[in-house]
Each structure stands twice: as structure tokens, then as C-alpha cells.
């Protein structure tokens, strides 16, 4: 039986869950995977936290040099988060030929090219299943399950915090502020929720997943990003009346014009499989040219779900003699031949405040027509004094055409566009 020693850098939520799985299921892995995995040491400044998890005192380290110089450690697990220290520690491990497993989506998104170069140089493995979508095995699916396919599109709910907030707003009528406060109270959102609610977290993950799906480097800088901080209860109510729900979607598409990568609040038709993904759950909906449509669904975060993904990488690394690296040229920037169009195609939902007078709607629809935008549906909401709200759903059209129409409408003395949301049918 193969013996494998691991070190865990950080015993926070994910590190603690990983330690729990490795220690509680050691005999199970021996029996089912023919591998004996032992935690040889942990890097943790909070000694009391480590002791509370059951880590023997002699295995608690406070210096990365003690970890990477340990001859019994062959796999280093990075779960400390952040970028600077994590990058330093991962490079230290790779430089001495130790395989690294990481859950750090920001680190991997921004520096995978550097980490992979060093890993190749020292014949070390670099695995990152837990960096995207928690316990959902999306990366293994792309690498090992869908090789027969050219992926044409992928879209998903890949941030549990925002999905929880939008679910509470949709199902319980909460305001954005109240839903965010509840998410923070339950530990779904950080004290500073910016990375989640402004779409950074989802954009990091989309950069990684799109690179794998389309076999070319998709840098974070190419991802169009909008967050949910501006979502109001009125926008959700209008969406529901029109047969949609509101989700923060990450969308990647390969088109004739290039690769689209975007993260933004999106109206999703209630019949679509992603519409039923609620609370902190995540899902990714993939379309391949051979398999058709596939959806993966599960917990997007948490100690044991994310720990499950980390342990799957540990077992994979322990049971495969050859290391796997990117299927594309992994550089800091995108290949010069790859285009990332900003004028992408989508349907749109616009909410406009106008005077409650005859002829107003015809003037607005005329502006749409001048920009080759046709309408699918129009909804008038409750009056407020002398004004009324109208909500319009368009056919698929170009992003820049909608922006131009919005600019022209806002230039009218009598109308104001209150919100613009993209739509998936």
C-alpha cells in the first residue's frame, strides 16, 4: 500500500474540514483507494485551534520552512486564503518538488502561470479542484469526463453568498441590506462582502473554468463583471411577474466572434434548470458538441464540501504517477489570436420610469427600433404620482446597441432608465 504524508497550511473552516476528513476516513481510503494518507504536520499560528481539532502538539508548525523541509511530506495543502503569503508558501513547496493542492481561487486565477512553470521545473503536481464551486467536481469533469467535447458554452451559479441573498430577496421579500446581514450572521458572507457581492469571487472562478473549458488562457482582466449591490425588491418583483427569477450568473461562450466571459445579475426563465438552484447551493450548466447539456449541482462552499474536493485531489495525486498540467499555453496574458468581444449578444430587461401619458411608450420603442432592438414583452408597474414604471424584455440583441439606446432614453426630459439586466431564456 502506498503511504503519503501531507501538510495542511491553515486550519480555518476549510483546513479544519480537510483535517477531519483525512483523519476520520484514513481506514476508508486504505480500503477503497489502496493509499495510506497521514497528516504529518500543519502550519497554524493559533495553537489552541489546532489542538482543539485533535492535532498532536508536535505536529503544529509556525514556519513554512519546517513544513517544506519535512521529508515525510510529499503533498502540501494550501488553504490559508489571500494571495501574498499563500503564493510564497506554494512556491516554497513547489521549489523543493512537493505537490501542491490548493483551494485558493484568487491565487490560482492570478498566478497559475507562475505556479505551473515552477511545478513543471521540479516535476511537482499542482491541483486545484477546490478552487471552484466547492464540493462540486467541475474541474475533474472538464478534465476527465468531457474530453470528447468541444465546450460551446457554460453558465452557472458559482457564488453561494450572492445566491443566498437573492433567494431571500425573492422568496421572503427581504431587502438587499437585510438579506446581506442575515448571510453575514450565518457565516455565508464576510464582514467585508465586496469580493462576493461585487462579483470578484465569481469572476476569479470563471477565469479558471473558462480557461479549462475552451483550452486557452482566459485572464481575469477579460471577464466582464457586475455585482448585485444595486438589486432592489422592485426588480425582483417585476422579474417574477414576467416569469423569471434573478441570479448572479457566470457565463462563458465560444462564438464566431471570440470568447465571451461575463459575470452579472441575470433574469433566468423559471423553467430553466438553474432557476431552481437556491440558497447557498451552486450549479454549472455545460453544453458540449457531443454530450449536449450537462448540469452539476451541489454545495459551493463549507468545511466538508470543500474539504471533499481537496481530498479528491490528494487521492488523485497519490494514485497517479504522472503530473497533469494545462492543456493550453498557460501565460500571464491571453494568446494574441484569441478575441474577447465586449459587444456580446443577449436578451435584456429594462426598467424605465416615465410620465403616465399616452404616446410615451411609442417614443421609447421608436428609439429601440433605431438601434435594431425588438421587444418580446412589456409590463407596466404601479403608478407613483404622475409617473409609471414600465419593464421591457427584448429579443437577443447586441450589448452596445442597448447601451446606446439607454443613453438616448436618459437624454429625454421625461424618461429615466432605472435598471438594465441581461436575460437567459
**Measuring CA to CA, how many Å separate 378 from each of 170, 273, 348, 350?**
21, 25, 12, 10
- Is there a catalytic annotation at residue 205? yes
Show Cβ contacts of residue 258 under 8 Å, excluding neighbours closer than 6 positions.
338, 339, 340, 341
Show Cβ contacts of residue 270 under 8 Å, excluding neighbours closer than 6 positions.
243, 244, 245
The H-or-E segment that residue 51 falls in is: helix 47-52
- Of 105, 110, 168, 205, catalytic: 205
Show Cβ contacts of residue 303 under 8 Å, excluding neighbours closer than 6 positions.
13, 14, 16, 17, 20
Instruction: State the Cα–Cα distance between residues 2 and 4, nearest whole angstrom.
Output: 7
CB neighbour burial string for 111-140, b if at least 16 within 10 angstroms, e if fewer: bbebbbebbeeeebbbbbbbbbbbbbbbbe
**Measuring CA to CA, how many Å separate 313 from each of 263, 277, 324?**
27, 26, 12
Question: Using H for helix, E for strand and C for coil, what is the string for 387-418?
Answer: EEEEEEEECCEEHHHHHHHHHHHHHCCCCEEE
Q: What is the DSSP letter of 127?
A: E
Active-site amino acid positions: 205
Amino acid at each position: 500500500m502506498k503511504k503519503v504524508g501531507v501538510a495542511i497550511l491553515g486550519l480555518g473552516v476549510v483546513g479544519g474540514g480537510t483535517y477531519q476528513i483525512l483523519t476520520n476516513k484514513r481506514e476508508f481510503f486504505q480500503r477503497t483507494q489502496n493509499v495510506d494518507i497521514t497528516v504529518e504536520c500543519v502550519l497554524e499560528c493559533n495553537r489552541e485551534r489546532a489542538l482543539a481539532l485533535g492535532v498532536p502538539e508536535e505536529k503544529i508548525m509556525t514556519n513554512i520552512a519546517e513544513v517544506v523541509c519535512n521529508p515525510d511530506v510529499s503533498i502540501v495543502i494550501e488553504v490559508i486564503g489571500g494571495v501574498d503569503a499563500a503564493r510564497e508558501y506554494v512556491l516554497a513547496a513547489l521549489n523543493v518538488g512537493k505537490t501542491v493542492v490548493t483551494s485558493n481561487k484568487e491565487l490560482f486565477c492570478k498566478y497559475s502561470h507562475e505556479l505551473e512553470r515552477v511545478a513543471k521545473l521540479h516535476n511537482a503536481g499542482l491541483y486545484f479542484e477546490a478552487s471552484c464551486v466547492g464540493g462540486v467536481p467541475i474541474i475533474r469533469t472538464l478534465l476527465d469526463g468531457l474530453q470528447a467535447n468541444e465546450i460551446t458554452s457554460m453558465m452557472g451559479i458559482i457564488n453561494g453568498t450572492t445566491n443566498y441573498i437573492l433567494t431571500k430577496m425573492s422568496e421572503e421579500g427581504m431587502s438587499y441590506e437585510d438579506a446581506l446581514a442575515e448571510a453575514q450572521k450565518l457565516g455565508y458572507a464576510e464582514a467585508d462582502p465586496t469580493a462576493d457581492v461585487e462579483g470578484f469571487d465569481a469572476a476569479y472562478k470563471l477565469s479558471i473554468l473558462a480557461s479549462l473549458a475552451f483550452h486557452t488562457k482566459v485572464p481575469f482582466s477579460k471577464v466582464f463583471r457586475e455585482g448585485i449591490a444595486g438589486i432592489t425588491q422592485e426588480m425582483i418583483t417585476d422579474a417574477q411577474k414576467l416569469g423569471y427569477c434573478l441570479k448572479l450568473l457566470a457565463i462563458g461562450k465560444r462564438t464566431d466572434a471570440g470568447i465571451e466571459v461575463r459575470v452579472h445579475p441575470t433574469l433566468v426563465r423559471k423553467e430553466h434548470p438553474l432557476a431552481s438552484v437556491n440558497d447557498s447551493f451552486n450549479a454549472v450548466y455545460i453544453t458540449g458538441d457531443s454530450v449536449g447539456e450537462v448540469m452539476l449541482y451541489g454545495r459551493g462552499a463549507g468545511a466538508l464540501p470543500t474539504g471533499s474536493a481537496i481530498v479528491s485531489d490528494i487521492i488523485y495525486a497519490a494514485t497517479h504517477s504522472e503530473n497533469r498540467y494545462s492543456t493550453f499555453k498557460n501565460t500571464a496574458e491571453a494568446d494574441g489570436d484569441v478575441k474577447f468581444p465586449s459587444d456580446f449578444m443577449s436578451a435584456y430587461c429594462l426598467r424605465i420610469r416615465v410620465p403616465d401619458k399616452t404616446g410615451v411608450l411609442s417614443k421609447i420603442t421608436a428609439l429601440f427600433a433605431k438601434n435594431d432592438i425588438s421587444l418580446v414583452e412589456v409590463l407596466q408597474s404601479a403608478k407613483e404620482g404622475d409617473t409609471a414604471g414600465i419593464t421591457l424584455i427584448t429579443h437577443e440583441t447586441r450589448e452596445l446597441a442597448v447601451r446606446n439606446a439607454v443613453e438616448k432614453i436618459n437624454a429625454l426630459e421625461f424618461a429615466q432608465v432605472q435598471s438594465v439586466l441581461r436575460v437567459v431564456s
